[in-house]
Amino acid sequence: MDTKIWVVDRVDKNVAATSPQIIEAASYLKKGEVVAFPTETVYGLGANARSDDAVLKIYEAKGRPSDNPLIVHIADSKQLQEFVQEIPDYAQKLIEHFWPGPLTLVLPKKNGLSTYVTAGLETVAVRMPAHPVALALLKASQLPIAAPSANLSGKPSPTLAKHVEQDLKGRIAGIVDGGPTGVGVESTVVDCTEEIPVILRPGGVSKEEIEAIIGQVCYDQNILDESQKPKSPGMKYTHYAPDAPLTIVDGSPEFLQSFINREKRNGKRVGVLTTEENKDKYEADRIIICGKRSDLKTVAAHLYDALRKFNEEPLDVLFSESFPREGVGQAIMNRLLKAAGHKIVAQSRFE
């Protein structure tokens, strides 16, 4: 399949629903094709959420397990009435405060969408993205758009159009290239079917930010203790892993360097994921810089590109610094731990 690429203006992102590239990309969506597009979190792989055929093409292109439901993207919260039964008061407050933005709400569903979107669940996940290109495309198509992250299943989510091309060129009808996404980690998924809302996946909006608006919120047990079964089907799958095994090291750069030295003595090629502040403190075969640890938002923005860079040359062993689990740090550590298959060593245990 030929994958059409539409480049939209990266400087003036205020692209309109009437611009020619957007109209053409929207016409593909209306025909039931699958089109990747930028959101403020990661690139999404969109299709008409009302059409079984279109939604099935998403699962096929990604190689996604069919029991993992998709997020529906809308441009106007009025569209919720079409496929959501009721919206609790706290969810209404979250909508008013955080939409458009990186927050997905899980709500009781009504018929109206393809059943493949919800993978047989009685609930549906919905969000209104904050990216002007995503909003323009949603408005031009006049459709609710089901869209998972636009990566092959298991790979890091795409934060650049080139990541989408690496994974899906030839497998999808088109890609709208709107430059780098911004937030860099996916939306926060909140289950709004309980009296007290539950964060199923930490993401672009932090628990602290949510609590400031509606008070008590809790984490799904699986986020704090990985041995517990997650409530969100997608959280049980291995994700984001680079080709070489990755270990997170929670300690000083000197402590991390001692792990690198041991591998080097065994003739291994070693990569390290670090930050602007510490980049000169390591000797390794590949040093990848992922934002500033003094500003965790910059780490989130570069994390998936950094994980993909590890695969650009042959490396045997990878190490990453650890990050504080506050604000977006909770999402960063959730994704890094998945990428590392939960291998983490703490300096405090050696002291």
**Interface residues toward ligand TXA, by CB under 6 A:** 39, 41-42, 44, 68-71, 102, 104, 106, 118, 121, 123-125, 129, 147-149, 186-187, 189, 200-201, 232-235
Residue among 21 and 41 whose Cβ is closer to ligand TXA: 41
Residues whose CB falls within 8 Å of the CB of residue 5, separated by 6 or more in sequence, listed in order: 161, 165, 174, 175, 177
Smallest separation (angstroms) from ligand TXA to the CB of 195:
17
Q: Does 181 bind Mg ion (CB under 5 A)?
A: no
Among Mg ion, ligand TXA, none, partner that 123 touches (CB below 5 to 8 angstroms by kind): ligand TXA
Among ligand TXA, Mg ion, none, partner that 44 touches (CB below 5 to 8 angstroms by kind): ligand TXA
Largest distance between two CA atoms of the chain: 62
Q: What are phi and psi of 273, to 5 degrees?
A: -100, 120
Among ligand TXA, Mg ion, none, partner that 327 touches (CB below 5 to 8 angstroms by kind): none
Smallest separation (angstroms) from ligand TXA to the CB of 21:
19
Cα-to-chain-centroid distance, residue 225: 21
Residue 306 · residue 290 · CB < 8 Å: yes
Of residues 83-142, those binding Mg ion (CB under 5 A):
none
Residue among 152 and 289 whose Cβ is closer to Mg ion: 152
Residues whose CB falls within 8 Å of the CB of residue 44, separated by 6 or more in sequence, listed in order: 36, 37, 38, 73, 129, 134, 145, 147, 148, 149, 150
Rounded Cα–Cα distance for residues 54 and 49 (Å): 8
Smallest separation (angstroms) from ligand TXA to the CB of 78:
20
Residue among 148 and 291 whose Cβ is closer to ligand TXA: 148
Among Mg ion, ligand TXA, none, partner that 104 touches (CB below 5 to 8 angstroms by kind): ligand TXA
Measured CA to CA in angstroms, residue 193 lies from 105, 147, 164, 315, 350 at distances of: 9, 22, 33, 45, 44
Smallest separation (angstroms) from ligand TXA to the CB of 134:
8
Among Mg ion, ligand TXA, none, partner that 140 touches (CB below 5 to 8 angstroms by kind): none
Residue among 189 and 256 whose Cβ is closer to ligand TXA: 189
Smallest separation (angstroms) from Mg ion to the CB of 76:
24
The closest of 301, 300, 279 to 289, measured between CA atoms, is: 279
Do you know the residue count of the chain?
A: 351
Residue 349 · residue 329 · CB < 8 Å: no
Q: Which of 149, 188, 206, 274 binds Mg ion (CB under 5 A)?
A: 149
Among Mg ion, ligand TXA, none, partner that 70 touches (CB below 5 to 8 angstroms by kind): ligand TXA
Residue among 61 and 284 whose Cβ is closer to ligand TXA: 61
Rounded Cα–Cα distance for residues 178 and 170 (Å): 19
Residue among 104 and 149 whose Cβ is closer to Mg ion: 149
Measured CA to CA in angstroms, residue 77 lies from 69, 159, 184, 199, 237 at distances of: 20, 26, 24, 21, 30
Rounded Cα–Cα distance for residues 318 and 284 (Å): 10
Contacts with Mg ion, residue ranges (CB under 5 A): 149
